[in-house]
């Protein structure tokens, strides 16, 4: 089995109900639910890296560069970038990869929104 890193950048899965606004928002503590979800599913092998908690619709080039940098620095062979629901993130990262050349060959980046 390949070593796996999950890079968390935000998304609805990490939002909680805000009773003041009756909407969804990231928790004040800045934590992700992914480790707890994995624990409940008895899945202990992935490394979970909390990069940011930001709505993917608000990503800018600095955020995408931070993701590319995190992917490039990851020692694992398989990487999942949890990006929320923005399906274009993979395409945008690919475009940045050509500019920066920083994603190592053999890395696998799978925006969760692309998994059906």
- DSSP states along 54-76: --GGG--HHHHHHHHHHHHH--S
Q: Please report where in the chains the tokens 């920066």 appear, as a residue.
A: 100
Render pLDDT for 38-82 as a digit per residue (tens, 0 to 9).
999 999 889 999 999 988 778 888 888 888 889 889 998 888 887
Rg of the chain in Å (alpha carbons) = 14
CATH class of 4-114: alpha beta
What is the pTM for the complete model shown? 0.73
Going by C-alpha positions, the residue among 60, 41, 44 that lies closest to residue 52 is: 60
Number of helical H runs and strand E runs in the chain? 3, 6
| Burial of residue 61, with CB atoms counted within 10 A of its CB: 0-12 exposed, 13-18 middle, 19 or more buried | exposed
């Amino acid at each position: 089995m390949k070593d796996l890193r999950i890079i968390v950048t935000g998304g609805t899965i990490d939002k909680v109900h805000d009773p003041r606004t009756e909407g969804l928002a990231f928790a004040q503590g800045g934590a992700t639910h992914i480790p707890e979800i994995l624990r409940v599913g008895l899945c202990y092998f992935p490394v979970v890296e909390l990069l940011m908690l930001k709505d993917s619709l608000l990503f800018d080039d600095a955020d995408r560069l931070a993701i590319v940098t995190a992917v490039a620095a990851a020692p694992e062979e398989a990487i999942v970038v949890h990006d929320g629901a923005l399906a274009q993130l993979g395409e945008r990262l690919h475009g940045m990869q050509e500019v920066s050349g920083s994603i190592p060959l053999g890395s696998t980046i799978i925006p969760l929104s692309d998994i059906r």
